[in-house]
Amino acid sequence: MAQYPLDMGRAGNTLALQTDAQGNVLYDALAKHGVGEKTIVKSQFKDLVPLHERADVGKIDFTRPSEEEVQETTERTRAALEKIVSGKIAAAKPKTLSSAATNNRGPQYIRYTPAQQGEGFNSGAAQRIIRMVDAPVDPLDPPKFKHKRVPRGPPSPPAPVLHSPPRKVSAKEQAEWVIPPCISNWKNAKGYTIPLDKRLAADGRGLQDVQINDNFAKFTEALYAADRHAREEVRQRNLMQQKLAAKEKAIKEENLRM
């Protein structure tokens, strides 16, 4: 039975404490555990600082590269692209035809000498000549192996978002976060007595922005104008009738005097 005094030598899942070249403890070892070498994990505050503001980066040279560097980079890029394209083309070609079938290699003759010699073995033959021929390959035969595409690994995690420190919630904010319960205006299976303010708050009528059509104002103004015009006509008609009555009265008085 294996024994581990003071748990020395016992295998476990706990990561060992790691330090950098300056002796600082690498607290981000847990975040970088289990990821690829090319994966960029932004686990420090300096990763959020721009390069031109970081002190450990130094002076950044923004000069344009020379013609030799541009040509070298172009050649490396072209070679990388040709490698990718050639791999895609090779993967698209059929793989059912073997190299032996394409070379049309002839048969091979092998001299075979059995280990057991005698009249009772190998029909009394001391040696045999074996003719080795490659089996013909049907060019229209479907592939025997199915190539499965391996899913791509996850990309580099995004940069963390810095949040402000938590603050105490005031009474006003707590009151603003109060959500009224869902109250139906048609169903009340439990027979609860719901206050009117709660029902109106759940109805949402107070949240609606009521917009009055401008035609109502135009219609009201037209009614007022028609009323004034009718009143003016009635007044003019009454004045005309009064004048006619006064004129007739004056004519009658003249006739009586004569």
Residue 144, amino acid = K
Q: Examine residue 95 and state whether it is found in any structural domain, yes or no.
A: no
Identify whether 221 is part of a domain. Answer: yes
H or E element in which residue 131 lies: strand 128-132
Tokens of 47: 């990763």
The answer to whether residue 199 is domain-embedded is yes
Q: What are phi and psi of 109, to 5 degrees?
A: -110, 130
Whether the predicted model's global pTM rises above the 0.85 cut = no
- Give the separation between CA 184 and CA 187, rounded to whole angstroms: 6
Residue 158 CB partners (closer than 8 Å, separation 6+): 42
| Per-residue pLDDT tens over the stretch 128-185 | 889 998 888 888 888 787 878 888 888 888 877 778 888 899 999 999 998 866 777 7
The answer to whether residue 257 is domain-embedded is yes
Domain for residue 27, yes or no?
A: no
Is residue 213 assigned to a domain? Answer: yes
Paired with 132 in beta bridges are 108
111 part of a folded domain: no
Indicate whether 92 belongs to any domain.
Answer: no
Distance CA(78)–CA(71), nearest Å, equals 10
Q: What digits encode the pLDDT tens for the residues 89-128?
A: 887 776 655 554 455 678 899 998 888 787 777 777 788 8
Q: Rounded to an integer, what distance in angstroms lies between the CA atom of residue 52 and that of residue 62?
A: 11
Residue range of the domain that includes 252: 191-258
Tell me how many domains the chain contains.
1
Q: How far apart are CA 133 and CA 110, in angstroms?
A: 11
Q: Are 72 and 80 in contact (CB under 8 A)?
A: no
